[in-house]
Amino acid sequence: MSFTFRSSDIRMRLSNSTLVLLLIASAASMARAQSIARLPDGQPNMQGMYTRSGVKALEAEPPFNPIDPGEKNPLSVSNREDGLGPYPRIFGQGGNVLRGAQQRSQRRVGIIFPENRKLPWRPEEDAKRRQFLLDMNPARDLRHVELNSRCALPGLFEGEDGNNPYTILQPPGKVVILYDYNHTSRVVDLSRKEHLGTKIRLFMGDSIGHWEGNMLVIDTANFNGRVAYSREIPYLSEDLHTVERFTVVDENTIDYEVTIDDPKLFTGPWKVAGYFSKAAKGVESLEFACAEGSQTLQNIFGIPPTH
């Protein structure tokens, strides 16, 4: 016996064995979803320490980036062949110490919409962005020094994935995300339905959320226009609006998806996927005070600029 499904452009035949496998996979997925523990206030329990992976927005037609550490940048040490180039590969192979067990190949990562990874930049804004990057090395002024070097809050996306874990807490009616990086925190209100007044502008934005089954949906607005998405997208406007979806897959894994809507810079929304993986046993959140001892601006400009 076989089953035939017809859609507008797809005809698919499923044999008995395929159908059985599908049913088993579906049942396993449902069982996993049902097995996720609930907290007293009804939230699916996603508390714990995680690392985040895959949320880089690697564009199909990336700009030239003079602060990129990679080989395409002649200003990077990566091109040196005199022994002073990048650290040996083995130096970067202990990541499992910090990372959890989740494998990247099993999850969706990077730009997922548009599928061709060409972000819908307004042409004039893309040109401005590309010029802005050129002015970052040598840095034209303080504004052209990346957020990390200024010890500014990173916004939603510049959390140095791989180096610094995230801790998720769920007090009643809220979700709190603590970044190891630079003592950043987000408090997501699950009861509020509307954002703060438009005059209140924040580096991390104003986040309100709700649960749809095992998926936490966080809507964030009221950004201050000073945050970056990445080194290649060095700023976003104050009109940025994001919708993040955290899907609790199992006790060790959260799938992540974010929709970026910034009509000042883009003609339409775009989406990036990634995932949170429970950090390895024994990983602790460590102090990352940034501003106290930073000498970066002194090393770039000589005398810290006053603007």
Partner 1 sequence: MSMKLLPGAATVLSLLLAAQPLSAHHAFAAEFDVDKPVKVNGTVTKIEFVNPHAWLYVDVKDPDGKLTNWRFELGAPNALIRLGWKMDTVKAGTDVEITGFRAKAGGPVGNGRSIKLPDGRELFSGGSAPTADR
# residues contacting partner 1 (CB under 8 A): 58
**The only residue of 12, 39, 58, 77 in contact with partner 1, by rule CB under 8 A:** 77
In the three-class reduction of DSSP (H, G, I as helix; E, B as strand; rest coil), residue 177 is classed as strand
CB contact burial 105-141 (16+ within 10 A = b; e otherwise): eebebebbbeeebebebeeeebeebeebbeebbebee
**The only residue of 14, 33, 36, 151 in contact with partner 1, by rule CB under 8 A:** 151
Please, which of residues 10-29 interact with partner 1 by CB under 8 A? Answer: none
Q: Does 282 bind partner 1 (CB under 8 A)?
A: no
Residue closer to partner 1 by CB (options 110, 269) is 110
AA letter at 96: N
- Binding string to partner 1 for residues 93 to 122, with x set by CB under 8 A, is what? xxx-xx------------------------
* Shortest Cβ 280–partner 1 spacing (Å): 10
**The only residue of 5, 35, 84, 307 in contact with partner 1, by rule CB under 8 A:** 84
Residue closer to partner 1 by CB (options 226, 248) is 226
Q: What does the block give as tokens for 290?
A: 């940034």
**The only residue of 145, 254, 265, 273 in contact with partner 1, by rule CB under 8 A:** 145
Q: What is the DSSP string of 117-172?
A: ----B-HHHHHHHHHHHHTBTTB-SGGGS-GGGGT---TTT-S-TTTS-EEEE--T
Residue closer to partner 1 by CB (options 5, 91) is 91
CB contact burial 202-233 (16+ within 10 A = b; e otherwise): bbbbbbbbeeeebebbbbbbbbbebbbbbbbb
Q: Does 161 bind partner 1 (CB under 8 A)?
A: yes
Q: What does the block give as tokens for 288?
A: 């990352």
Q: Are 195 and 206 in contact (CB under 8 A)?
A: yes
Residues that bind partner 1 (CB under 8 A): 66-70, 73, 75-78, 80, 82, 84-95, 97-98, 136-139, 145-146, 148-149, 151, 160-164, 180, 182, 231, 286-290, 292-296, 298-302
